Amino acid sequence: MSEPVSNSVLKKSLDESPETDIENEIQPQEEMSRKYIFLTIFSCFCPSHPINIVAFVLSMMALHSYNEGNIDGAKKLAHIATLVAIAAIIVGLLIIAISCIVHFSVQQ
């Protein structure tokens, strides 16, 4: 007949099972802030079109990198997209200010 299995053998086999292997556990992914996407979409309403389109493309690349699992690359692209979006907003506000100054300073 079959011999009874000792507790130490059973415990050892359970400890080595894939379910209890700590190294194989799935690490929780870092949650990345999505504020840069809203900022780049907002920058698309400013009249600095080449710059804000670049910011939007960079933010979509960051989102794609994050979805692929490249978190470090996504953070770098998101940071660059944020900086370019801020630059686009500043340039857009300057264009609006200069056009208002020129429009109201011209004598008719």
- Maximum Cα–Cα distance across the chain: 111
pLDDT in the model for residue 36: 85
The mean pLDDT value for 32-57 works out to: 90
pLDDT of residue 22: 53
| pLDDT at residue 34, rounded to an integer | 80
- The residues, ordered by sequence, that sit 6+ positions from 24 with a Cβ below 8 Å of its Cβ are 18
Residue 25 has pLDDT above 60, yes or no: no
Report how far apart, in Å, the C-alpha atoms of 43 and of each of 5, 98, 99 are: 69, 18, 18
Name which residue leads in pLDDT, 64 or 22: 64
Class of residue 55 by CB neighbours under 10 A (exposed 0-12, middle 13-18, buried 19+): buried
Mean model confidence pLDDT for the chain: 82
Show the tokens assigned to 13: 């086999």
